């Protein structure tokens, strides 16, 4: 099944999610069907089915267990969720309507799901659309995303993919509200495709220049920059980008408008948070074999239409360290909020990690046994999503 | 630990020369460097002395070249970077016993050889040392796979379109999952494209023309550079320009020695060997070189003819049994030769303490003379030899 959840909300805006995860590519390297003549060096992926599961679980969480962290937007509540995924084994999702097996993400399946999603999305001028993709991607003139059956036809080797760049431009002329794109795919330039005339895959929607741009807001966050790779830990784990996306949406970004009552997560705040969280992950795992830093790329246009409206202030991931490291065990690392709340790590030879509400803090290190001078930063602003600092013990 | 690479004859500053240097440095760092305990970013000096070599007033117009009479409307110019890369690959393939330009057919005949040639063709066109190092690291994995699996079953059903993809998939192991291929595929496919375009049978294309031109010009320039060097090498007090250029790099490399990392390695190709020998025995006897590798060189031949400034007609007194002593400022000397390379010579019969190392490029005549540093397997075998005492 593709449509996992839908509520009849005639006359009021809602949020409509279309999520696609492709890990099983039968015609690419390691697949169980005839190998494509031009597989572009692409292999089977274990992360996308797991990543899409994590994302869907996050969206459904408050509906399944009220009060848990997940999608919240009183102005545009979750109105529909459609999803497709390709994996060697069926992928089951727990929805408010029960457990559902996801349909395969073939090119035709994606097209059908997209067409239906677009119809729902156009149903109200204030609707918000979310299009998530996790799987293989390549770049030539535009950014192309690969469906499960990519490489099926020997004479049309690249037909079962779609052009997301043009799709985004086309949707700007169709959807009056806001659309958020989260594209967790590589953007490596394919020489083979580049030297083949008219090899470009089609968009999901043709770009009609006779139509004017009507969208109020568009946010496209790509897992990586043009020409670069996106990564996931091996062994069927959530990808770096999707981890950062879910983390960002789970209370690590958002701004409160003047006089407002909620902390709003709009395109700019979520884009910034994802980029910083990816950098934070690189900081926490310096021996990542992907080496090349994965830096997300963003397109944010139009006036803000928040994806989420949160009731509480966003948090900050604090990472305090002390240099030189051999003095760490002699120190107490601490943060003291403007409200007088103090948190500390006492004389432990490790990095101090803690999550705190945003705000102003005194950040410092003291050596209770003496011997070393204190290190104090009096007015540090902790801004979501991260605050990494290495305190320098002198001399 | 610095390395000094002294090129041989027939090198003139051009896109081709610079690409060669990028590829060679990448392979030296990734494959030979670890065998020498070389740090990844250790300096490699490559003194360029070609500008002081022979000059031909009529630009070698005396060389017969019937193709020059024909005008080509389009195509890859033989003097451009890609034309030069294809030309180098054509040189490698010129007399190869197995290479047909069809990588799948060649792999069925001799998989390790096909892998080596594929990477050589890819490295022939690198545009950065980083790209060369990336290819070199990938090559080491692929070469190890080819040795362990000389007849992989997937080759039987592979196509030219997916051969490289399957090779990389089988040989390379990553610890992270990437939602893409990682760039190496495109480099190798460019190499495949060069193999196809460099087929010597395609006599009318740029590669074929370049190869014929190269055969003639290489002999001519070898003689020209050698004559020029011998006539202008100068004296200890006033070294000639070629000697001065190479000595300058040796001086800089010598200054890079550090406690605990104080080895000085010199690699000399072809006539570069004669230049280095002249320097170490006459011009700058103060240099202490820990290892000299001469490749496709004629050092022994020139000593037989007593053409060095330090040569003495009476030494040794009892040839062919006797030997000239190894220079005292040289700790180790490996001489690489290929019997197919008519410009490479043995050295063991002439200089005491030298170890001759036979490397079979699989090619013949002049194709093999320039081929050593293009083939990644050369670096692998050199590294193995350097690890031995």
ipTM (interface pTM): 0.77
Note whether B77 contacts A: Cβ–Cβ < 8 A: no
B176: nearest CB among A38, A188, A289: A289
Whether B31 has a pLDDT exceeding 60, the answer reads: yes
A94 and A239 part of one domain:
yes
Residues of chain A positioned with their CB less than 8 A from the CB of B161: 37-38, 157
Q: Mutate one of A24, A27, A30, A41 to test the B interface: name it (highest B CB count within 10 A).
A: A41
For residue B90, report the phi and psi dihedrals to the nearest 5 degrees. Answer: -60, -40
Segment A252-258 mean pLDDT: 94
Query: What CATH number does the domain containing A350 carry?
Result: 2.60.40.1120
Q: If you average pLDDT over every residue of chain A, what do you get?
A: 93
What pLDDT score does A291 carry?
58
Q: In chain B, count H helices and then E strands.
A: 14, 7
Which percentage of chain A shows pLDDT scores above 70?
A: 98
What pLDDT score does B207 carry?
47
Note whether B130 contacts A: Cβ–Cβ < 8 A: no
Inter-chain touch A138–B161, beta carbons under 8 Å: no
Whether A292 has a pLDDT exceeding 70, the answer reads: no
Cα angle value B132/B128/B208 (rounded, 5°): 75
Inter-chain touch A232–B179, beta carbons under 8 Å: yes
Q: Which of A310, A338, A358 is the last residue of a domain?
A: A310
Highest mean predicted confidence (pLDDT) among A61-65, A228-232, B99-103? A61-65
Q: Which of A310, A338, A363 is the last residue of a domain?
A: A310
HEC profile for chain A?
CCEEEECCCCCCCCEEEEEEEECCCCCCECCCCCCCCCCCCCECCCHHHHHHHHHHHHHHHHHHCCCCCCCCCCCCCEEEEEEEEECCCCCEEEECCEEEECECCCHHHHHHHHHHHHHHHCCCCCCEEEEEEECCEEECCCEEEECCCCCCCCCCCCCCEEEHHHHHHHHCCCCCCEEEEEEECCCEECHHHHCCCCCCCCCCCCCCCCCCCCCCEEEEEECCCCCCCCEEECCCCCCHHHHHHHHHHCCCCCECCCCCCCEEECHHHHHHHHHHHHHHHHHHCCCCCCCCCCCCEEEEEECCCCCEEECCCCEEEEEEEEECHHHHHHCEEEEEECCCCEEEEECCCCCEEEEEECEEEEEEEECCCCCCCCEEEEEEEECCCEEEEEEECCC
Q: What is the pLDDT of residues B130-176, one digit of tens each?
A: 888 889 988 999 999 999 999 999 999 999 889 999 999 998 766 67
What pLDDT score does B344 carry?
86
Task: Give the predicted TM-score (pTM) of the model.
Answer: 0.81
Note whether B40 contacts A: Cβ–Cβ < 8 A: no
Inter-chain touch A290–B176, beta carbons under 8 Å: yes
Q: What is the pLDDT of residues A186-218, one digit of tens each?
A: 998 888 888 888 888 999 999 999 999 999 999
Inter-chain touch A137–B179, beta carbons under 8 Å: yes
A29 and A146 part of one domain:
yes
The distance of B181 to chain A (nearest Cα, Å) reads: 5
Residue of B nearest to A133 (CA): B179
The distance of B334 to chain A (nearest Cα, Å) reads: 37
Domain that holds residue A108: 3-310
Inter-chain touch A39–B162, beta carbons under 8 Å: yes
A250 and A338 part of one domain:
no
A303 and A336 part of one domain:
no
What pLDDT score does B123 carry?
87
Using CA atoms of B129, B134, B137, B140 in order, give the dihedral in degrees to the nearest 10.
Answer: -90
A261 and A361 part of one domain:
no
Query: What CATH number does the domain containing A258 carry?
Result: 3.40.50.1460
Note whether B286 contacts A: Cβ–Cβ < 8 A: no
* Low-confidence winner among A15-29, A105-119, A243-257, B195-209 (lowest mean pLDDT): B195-209
Residue of A nearest to B159 (CA): A37
For residue A220, report the phi and psi dihedrals to the nearest 5 degrees. Answer: -120, 120
Inter-chain touch B175–A234, beta carbons under 8 Å: yes
Using pLDDT thresholds of 50, 70 and 90, give the confidence band for residue B74. Answer: very low
CA distance A335 to A343: 5
The distance of B160 to chain A (nearest Cα, Å) reads: 8
A116 and A150 part of one domain:
yes
* Residue found under tokens 């929805």: A95
The distance of B239 to chain A (nearest Cα, Å) reads: 48
Q: What is the pLDDT of residues A299-310, one digit of tens each?
A: 999 998 999 999
Note whether A194 contacts B: Cβ–Cβ < 8 A: no
A139 and A57 part of one domain:
yes
Inter-chain touch A37–B159, beta carbons under 8 Å: yes
What pLDDT score does A18 carry?
98
Note whether B285 contacts A: Cβ–Cβ < 8 A: no
Residues of chain B positioned with their CB less than 8 A from the CB of A187: 180
Segment B219-225 mean pLDDT: 81
Q: What is the pLDDT of residues A315-366, one digit of tens each?
A: 999 999 999 999 999 999 999 999 999 999 987 889 999 999 999 999 999 9
A199 and A343 part of one domain:
no
A38: nearest CB among B161, B168, B178: B161
Q: How many domains does chain A have?
A: 2
A145 and A176 part of one domain:
yes
Inter-chain touch B179–A230, beta carbons under 8 Å: yes
Residues of chain B positioned with their CB less than 8 A from the CB of A21: none
Whether B293 has a pLDDT exceeding 60, the answer reads: yes
How, if at all, do strands B291-295 and B333-337 pair?
parallel
B181: nearest CB among A36, A40, A233: A40
* Residue found under tokens 């375009």: B197
- C-alpha atoms less than 13 angstroms from C-alpha of B105 in its C-beta half-sphere: 8
Highest mean predicted confidence (pLDDT) among A105-114, A151-160, B74-83? A105-114
Inter-chain touch B169–A30, beta carbons under 8 Å: yes
Residue of B nearest to A21 (CA): B179
Segment B280-309 mean pLDDT: 93
A301 and A353 part of one domain:
no
Please list, residue by residue across A91-121, b when 16 or more beta carbons sit within 10 angstroms of its beta carbon and e when fewer do.
bebebeeeebebbbbbbebbeebbebbbebb
Highest mean predicted confidence (pLDDT) among A124-128, A224-228, B43-47? A124-128
A224 and A361 part of one domain:
no
Note whether A135 contacts B: Cβ–Cβ < 8 A: yes
The distance of A231 to chain B (nearest Cα, Å) reads: 4
Segment A130-147 mean pLDDT: 95
What pLDDT score does B76 carry?
44
CA distance A23 to B384: 41
B176: nearest CB among A35, A184, A234: A234
What pLDDT score does B94 carry?
60
Inter-chain touch B180–A188, beta carbons under 8 Å: yes
What pLDDT score does B81 carry?
61
CA distance B211 to B197: 13
B189: nearest CB among A186, A192, A223: A192
Is the bond leading into A342 cis (omega within 30 degrees of zero)?
Answer: no
What pLDDT score does B201 carry?
42
CB pairs under 8 A between A and B: 91
The distance of A24 to chain B (nearest Cα, Å) reads: 12
Residues of chain B positioned with their CB less than 8 A from the CB of A230: 178-180
Residue B77 structure tokens: 């110019």
* Phi/psi-derived region of residue B327, left when phi > 0, alpha when psi is between -120 and 50, beta in every other case: beta
Inter-chain touch A37–B161, beta carbons under 8 Å: yes
Residues of chain B positioned with their CB less than 8 A from the CB of A45: 177, 179
CA distance A243 to A246: 5
Inter-chain touch B179–A45, beta carbons under 8 Å: yes
Q: Which of A257, A277, A310 is the last residue of a domain?
A: A310
Q: Which domains does chain B have, with CATH numbers?
A: 3-57+209-387 (3.40.50.1820), 77-208 (no CATH)
Segment A356-379 mean pLDDT: 92
What pLDDT score does B59 carry?
74
Segment B338-346 mean pLDDT: 82
Residue B308 structure tokens: 């060095």
CA distance A81 to A5: 5
The distance of B173 to chain A (nearest Cα, Å) reads: 11
Segment B248-271 mean pLDDT: 88
Residue of B nearest to A157 (CA): B161
Highest mean predicted confidence (pLDDT) among A176-180, B182-186, B315-319? A176-180
A180 and A67 part of one domain:
yes
What pLDDT score does B2 carry?
83
Which percentage of chain B shows pLDDT scores above 70?
A: 80
What pLDDT score does B65 carry?
56
Using pLDDT thresholds of 50, 70 and 90, give the confidence band for residue B88. Answer: low
* Low-confidence winner among B188-197, B218-227, B366-375 (lowest mean pLDDT): B366-375
Residues of chain B positioned with their CB less than 8 A from the CB of A182: none
Residues of chain B positioned with their CB less than 8 A from the CB of A223: 179
Q: If you average pLDDT over every residue of chain B, what do you get?
A: 81
What pLDDT score does B361 carry?
62
């Amino acid at each position: 099944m593709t449509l996992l959840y839908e509520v009849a909300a005639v006359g009021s805006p809602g949020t409509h999610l279309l999520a696609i995860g492709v890990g099983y590519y039968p015609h690419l390297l390691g697949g169980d069907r005839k190998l494509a003549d031009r597989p572009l060096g692409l292999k089977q992926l274990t992360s996308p089915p797991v990543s899409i599961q994590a994302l869907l679980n996050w969206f459904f969480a408050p509906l399944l267990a009220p009060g848990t962290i997940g999608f919240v937007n009183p102005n545009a509540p979750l109105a529909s969720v459609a999803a497709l995924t390709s994996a060697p084994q069926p992928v089951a999702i727990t929805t408010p309507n029960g457990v559902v097996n996801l349909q395969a993400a073939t090119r035709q399946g994606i097209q059908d799901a997209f067409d239906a999603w677009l119809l729902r999305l156009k149903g109200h001028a204030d609707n918000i659309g979310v299009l998530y993709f996790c799987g293989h991607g390549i770049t030539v003139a535009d950014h192309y995303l690969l469906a499960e059956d990519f490489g099926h036809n020997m004479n049309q080797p690249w037909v079962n993919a779609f052009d997301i760049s043009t799709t985004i431009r086309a949707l700007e002329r169709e959807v009056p509200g806001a659309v958020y794109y989260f594209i967790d795919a590589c953007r490596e330039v394919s020489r083979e495709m580049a030297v083949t005339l008219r090899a470009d895959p089609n968009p999901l929607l043709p770009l009609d220049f006779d139509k004017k741009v009507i969208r109020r807001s568009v946010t496209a966050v790509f897992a990586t920059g043009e020409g670069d790779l996106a990564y996931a830990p091996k062994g069927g784990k959530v990808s770096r980008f999707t981890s950062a996306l879910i983390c960002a949406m789970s209370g690590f970004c958002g701004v409160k408008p003047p006089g407002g009552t909620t902390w709003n997560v709009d395109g700019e705040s979520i884009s910034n948070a994802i980029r910083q969280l990816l950098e934070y992950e690189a900081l926490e795992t310096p021996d990542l074999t992907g080496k090349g830093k994965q830096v997300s790329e963003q397109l944010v246009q139009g006036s803000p239409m928040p994806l989420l409206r949160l009731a509480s202030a966003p948090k900050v991931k604090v990472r305090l360290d002390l240099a030189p490291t051999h003095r760490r065990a002699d120190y107490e690392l601490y943060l003291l909020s403007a409200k007088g709340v103090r948190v500390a790590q006492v004389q432990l030879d490790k990095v101090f990690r803690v999550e705190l509400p945003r705000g102003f803090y005194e950040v410092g290190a003291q050596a209770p046994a003496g011997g070393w001078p204190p290190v104090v930063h009096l007015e540090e602003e902790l801004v979501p999503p991260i605050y990494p600092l290495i305190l320098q013990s002198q001399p | 630990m610095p390395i000094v690479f002294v090129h041989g004859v027939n090198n003139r500053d051009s896109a081709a020369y610079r690409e060669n240097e990028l590829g060679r440095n990448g392979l030296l760092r990734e494959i030979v460097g670890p065998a020498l305990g070389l740090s990844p970013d250790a300096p490699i000096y490559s003194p360029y002395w070609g500008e002081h070599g022979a000059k031909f007033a009529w630009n070698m117009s005396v060389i017969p070249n019937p193709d020059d009479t024909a005008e080509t409307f389009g195509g890859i110019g033989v003097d451009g970077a890609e034309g030069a890369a294809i030309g180098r690959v054509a040189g490698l393939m010129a007399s190869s016993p197995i290479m047909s330009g069809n990588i799948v057919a060649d792999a069925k005949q001799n998989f390790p050889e096909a892998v080596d040639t594929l990477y050589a063709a890819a490295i022939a066109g690198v545009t950065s040392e980083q790209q060369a190092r990336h290819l070199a690291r990938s090559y080491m994995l692929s070469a190890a796979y080819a040795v362990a699996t000389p007849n992989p079953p997937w080759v039987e059903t592979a196509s030219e379109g997916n051969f490289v993809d399957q090779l990389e998939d089988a040989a390379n192991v990553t610890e992270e999952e990437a939602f893409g291929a990682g760039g190496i595929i495109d480099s190798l496919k460019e190499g495949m494209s060069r193999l196809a375009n460099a087929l010597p049978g395609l006599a009318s294309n740029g590669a074929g023309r370049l190869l014929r031109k190269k055969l003639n010009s290489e002999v001519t320039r070898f003689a020209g550079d050698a004559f020029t060097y011998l006539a202008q090498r100068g004296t200890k007090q006033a070294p000639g320009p070629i000697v001065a250029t190479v000595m300058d790099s040796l001086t800089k490399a010598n200054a890079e020695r550090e406690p605990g990392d104080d080895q000085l390695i010199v690699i000399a190709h072809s006539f570069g060997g004669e230049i280095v020998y002249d320097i170490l025995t006459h011009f700058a006897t103060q240099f202490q070189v820990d290892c000299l590798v001469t490749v496709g060189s004629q050092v022994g031949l020139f000593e037989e003819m007593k053409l060095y400034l330090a040569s003495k007609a009476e030494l040794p007194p009892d040839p062919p049994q006797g030997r000239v002593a190894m220079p005292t400022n040289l700790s180790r000397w490996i001489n690489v030769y290929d019997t197919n390379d008519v410009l490479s010579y043995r050295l063991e019969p002439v200089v005491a303490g030298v170890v001759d190392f036979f490397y079979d490029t699989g090619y013949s005549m002049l194709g093999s003379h320039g081929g050593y540093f293009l083939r990644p397997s050369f670096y692998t075998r050199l590294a193995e030899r350097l690890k031995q005492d």
